[in-house]
Structure 1
């Protein structure tokens, strides 16, 4: 789309400048590395829910899932939004209370405290690889949106998006990310809620849209599938519902929350919001397959629908919403990478390099991780698969030790470390040897079996490390589940 209305361009530019302004405002709240990395543990329920929802409704949920739904309907988007919504619910139910109780700064702190230094180092490397891959997928999305909007080459769009996200993330850290996410999620929900009825109106209404959708668009279970296809289907659910759980971006929001209840309830609320608005994007992708069949790049369907069917003012809102979706995830992802480096890899560096401190190093690694992610984005052009492959690494390497660390007190250091290494190596091995089978499901099984066997064999010689908080105090195992009610009044700090 090369003939762009100047008013639309002005509106989008205004939005981008506004986000930079919020970032610089947030920078005034930064006193130390805790403020920068976990917002001083002061996020309220609504701010925490907004930043979690906005982080997850990124390029994968909007552009990637709409593109996958354009081609395959619901079966193309099992992982995201369906599996990812389950992940948020599971995080609230089983994980975030204990994480918040331990007063961690990153999820890597958990692996280090529970399974020792080697586990901390290995999980740091895994996390950085994952989030550079994920950031890459998000920067590709920014390139797509700016290309669809202005006609500039996608690579130029990737560079522009990287620079803007970089500036406000370096300035304000988690405060900037949370505040910009709050505005971005409101813009995003407004954009999707307004755009979908307008697109459905092209069919004559929502009922007519459902009738006109290609046959099988809303099928959730494959028909006449072969064994490898069934395994691939199971893999889609597992990577999203389990793999995403160990992500630094998800846990970072729990750690930034005011208390355990806020951590838990924001995960529940985000799960619901994410499913609703992720589904709107998926439905627009299915609508696009009828309104604009034969697209060369289906992941551009949402911006193309917006430019074609929305009035100019709504185009500004909607394209801003798309940019909001992607930028709110990209900033979180870049911050997640830098947090792990500054907080967890820094202590392993020689003493002279450590003198600058966590805050200085974290700020320095933000542009480095953004640059590497940008290079990934420039060379890998597809959003959805890059997103899934990144989180496969978390599924095979970290999900089992994370779960066992909280829920199986006997799980020990050798078991945790061997599980991480064996799951990851099995995943890499089977990707090469049997590419027709989902290597991540096999890697997950290997990691689980090895954790149990090695723990049982070594439990006498290597007792499990107890769960402790950041100050070394033993953690209570009681009330790990908390409550299913999002509005329980009691507060646990």
Structure 2
């Protein structure tokens, strides 16, 4: 098959448009400080915030992954778009006001403020890995789409898309990302809404073929696994820097919460077109189309279902419009995740630990290097791992089992300290690593109940690990406080310096008490501090 020249031209025009919008927006509202680059000078309007949050969430993984899972397993398993949409609503209501109240720059600032730089840096690990898998899912979706519709090399498509998104992100930071998101969300919405009816009404689509399978089935044995995934998506989805970077950039807290909640509703609505496309793709008789590949489609081919439907079940113009939708989704999410990773590295690792005296100019260059490195790593993962929906799920895995319990504790439970946080982190990380990851062929060392070699872990092990981590954070925090404050362990072993303030506060309390006592009581030496002072004077 020859390269689709009209389609290629349209993609080139679209990429040039996005690049121009990103560069112009970045230069027009160019910030001179790192905080300005990360948070758009905290001056983002409600409309811009709403568009950029929605566009960021609806990436290539969201679109292609939704179509893939509906075609493969039915509507019952369309968990990711539902879960991620709900996570926006919950995160906006539950966490956003607290972060804004504390004047945070990133969502990881509370960890460093309460637990110190080392623990804050440790919390960056699941964030970095989650963003890498998220970006990889996005780029993988675009690569497969361009390979089908344009007959372009999948690897080349991934590389070019990564380069374009990184380029304009380097120029203007969040302002560039936000304004390109507006254009991208419009293209995405129009492309999907227009393409879905053409695909559903194509003569090759016979709904009778899937009348017994379109809904999907969740067996009793799969119930724990099914609910575990919802916990992963809904609760794990609340701990993404991408959302908080935009809500922290809003002018007011009310605008921030409103934009997050409305964006969640919009994401849920925009998941309908790709779900319908996946549904139609599973019902299509591909022998009646121009598709010349293997029939019936294998499980491995299901991640191509959306681009295949656009290519073979739509007229050429609609197909190109659909490609524009996928391209828009990819660009809007790739730039966001690379910027977020770079922001966290620059603020919470480089500035807080490596170079505490670094000036803005130096930090800007560090951020630019981090953007390039993040984009390159994500492109490599996208080329190696092929399942879009699998990457879409995997990116929230560590966010759920590790970061969500930590996030709850650091924001809402004042008794938690660095010792509890560290133990909870390490135990959760080890347990998750030992549970295996089938997608990346990482073997399971721990076999939970219902485990089998075909399906892997069917027990809700992620939720179990998250609960264990939550319990350890609280219990170890309370335990270490008792050990140190009661003198059972000397405070010289307080390596995280969690209780060094207690001695000085005790002295301050005694001095305050002495001021409240009658002068005669003080002279009689009723306070130890006064008695010691008298003996010293003698």
1:129-140 aligned at under 5 Å gives the runs 129-140=129-140
Q: Gaps spanning 5+ residues in structure 1: where?
A: 466-493
1:49-78: CA deviations, max 9, x gaps?
111111111122111121111110123321
Aligned to 2:399: 394
Name the count of aligned residue pairs: 456
1:168-247 aligned at under 5 Å gives the runs 168-202=168-202, 213-219=210-216, 222-223=218-219, 225-226=220-221, 229-247=222-240
The 8 Å contact of residues 185 and 324 in structure 1, kept in 2 or not, is answered as yes
The 8 Å contact of residues 137 and 377 in structure 1, kept in 2 or not, is answered as yes
Does 2:412 match 1:407?
yes
Aligned to 2:520: none
SS at match of 2:214: coil
1:422-441 aligned at under 5 Å gives the runs 422-431=427-436, 432=444, 433-434=446-447, 435-436=456-457, 437-441=459-463
SS at match of 1:107: coil
1:42-441 aligned at under 5 Å gives the runs 42-78=43-79, 80-202=80-202, 213-219=210-216, 222-223=218-219, 225-226=220-221, 229-291=222-284, 292=286, 294-296=296-298, 297-347=301-351, 348-350=353-355, 356-431=361-436, 432=444, 433-434=446-447, 435-436=456-457, 437-441=459-463
The 8 Å contact of residues 35 and 175 in structure 1, kept in 2 or not, is answered as no
Task: State the shift of 1:149 in Å.
Answer: 2.2
Cα distance in structure 1, aligned partners of 2:88 and 2:131 = 18
Aligned to 2:41: 40
Cα distance in structure 1, aligned partners of 2:358 and 2:116 = 23
Q: Gaps spanning 5+ residues in structure 2: where?
A: 287-294, 437-443, 448-455, 486-497, 502-538
Aligned to 1:484: none
Instruction: Check 1:315–1:123 CA distance in 2 against 1; reply closer, same or farther (3 A cut).
Output: same
Cα distance in structure 1, aligned partners of 2:210 and 2:406 = 43
The 8 Å contact of residues 110 and 411 in structure 2, kept in 1 or not, is answered as no
Cα distance in structure 1, aligned partners of 2:360 and 2:38 = 18
Higher deviation after alignment, 133-142 or 62-71: 133-142
Cα distance in structure 1, aligned partners of 2:2 and 2:67 = 23
1:83-131: CA deviations, max 9, x gaps?
1111111112211111222221111112212333232010122211221
Task: State the shift of 1:450 in Å.
Answer: 0.6
Task: State the shift of 1:351 in Å.
Answer: 6.6
1:444-474: CA deviations, max 9, x gaps?
1211111221233234545799xxxxxxxxx
Instruction: Check 1:410–1:464 CA distance in 2 against 1; reply closer, same or farther (3 A cut).
Output: farther
Cα distance in structure 1, aligned partners of 2:272 and 2:114 = 38
Aligned to 2:292: none
Instruction: Check 1:87–1:306 CA distance in 2 against 1; reply closer, same or farther (3 A cut).
Output: same
Task: State the shift of 1:156 in Å.
Answer: 1.2
Cα distance in structure 1, aligned partners of 2:365 and 2:245 = 19
SS at match of 2:297: coil
The 8 Å contact of residues 57 and 325 in structure 1, kept in 2 or not, is answered as yes
Structure of greater Rg: 2
Task: State the shift of 1:426 in Å.
Answer: 1.6
Cα distance in structure 2, aligned partners of 1:33 and 1:75 = 44
Cα distance in structure 1, aligned partners of 2:30 and 2:381 = 30
SS at match of 2:396: helix
Cα distance in structure 1, aligned partners of 2:430 and 2:359 = 32
Aligned to 1:22: 21
The 8 Å contact of residues 341 and 374 in structure 2, kept in 1 or not, is answered as yes
Cα distance in structure 2, aligned partners of 1:150 and 1:344 = 41
Instruction: Check 1:313–1:355 CA distance in 2 against 1; reply closer, same or farther (3 A cut).
Output: closer
Task: State the shift of 1:216 in Å.
Answer: 4.1
The 8 Å contact of residues 412 and 464 in structure 1, kept in 2 or not, is answered as no
Task: State the shift of 1:395 in Å.
Answer: 0.8
For normalisation by structure 2, the TM-score amounts to 0.80
Greater length-normalized contact order (CA 8 Å, ≥ 6 residues apart): 1
Instruction: Check 1:269–1:182 CA distance in 2 against 1; reply closer, same or farther (3 A cut).
Output: same
Higher deviation after alignment, 426-435 or 146-155: 426-435
Higher deviation after alignment, 35-44 or 177-186: 35-44
SS at match of 2:212: coil
SS at match of 1:105: coil
Cα distance in structure 1, aligned partners of 2:254 and 2:356 = 39
The 8 Å contact of residues 81 and 278 in structure 1, kept in 2 or not, is answered as yes
RMSD: 2.4
Instruction: Check 1:407–1:214 CA distance in 2 against 1; reply closer, same or farther (3 A cut).
Output: farther
Instruction: Check 1:319–1:454 CA distance in 2 against 1; reply closer, same or farther (3 A cut).
Output: same
Aligned to 2:491: none
